[in-house]
Amino acid sequence: MEQYLVQSKSKEQITRNIIAESIGKLFICHEFKLQAPILKALKDGDGNQVATFALSFRFSAYNNSNKVAFQPYIDSLVNLIAHKDLEAKQGVLKALQQIAGNDSLKTLFSVP
C-alpha cells in the first residue's frame, strides 16, 4: 500500500487507473485490512491520491453485496464531492455512481 500511496500521486492517468483497479480488486479480499490506508488517502491525500483511491470503488463495488465493508466510506465520499480538484471530484462521483447503482449497496445512502 505504501507504494500505491506514493505512485497514486502520479500525474499519469494510466498509472492511477492501474492502481485504482488493483486496490479495488484487493479490497474485495482484504476489505478491513485496507480500511485505514484508504480512509487516510481520502482524508489527507492530494487531488490525484483522492481521485485514485475513490476510483478504486468503481472496481470494488461492482457486484459486491458486502454493505458492512463500504459503510465507513460513504460520509467521506459524499463530503469529497466538494473537493476543489477536478480529477478528485470526478473519481468521487464515479465511485458514488458505482455504489448507488448497486442494488445491494444503494441503501447505504438512506437517511436513518
In the complex, the residues that contact another protein under the rule CB under 8 A are 1-3, 7, 10, 12, 14-15, 18-19, 21-22, 25-26, 28-30, 33-34, 37
> Smaller CB distance to another protein: residue 6 or 100?
6
DSSP per-residue string spanning 2-51: HHHHHHTT-S-HHHHHHHHHHHHHHHHHHTTTTHHHHHHHHHH--HHHHH
Q: Which is nearer to another protein, 14 or 111 (CB)?
A: 14
Q: Which among 32, 79, 35, 29 is positioned nearest to 53, based on CA atoms?
A: 35
CB-wise, 35 or 93, nearer to another protein? 35
Q: How far is the CB of 32 from another protein (least distance, A)?
A: 11
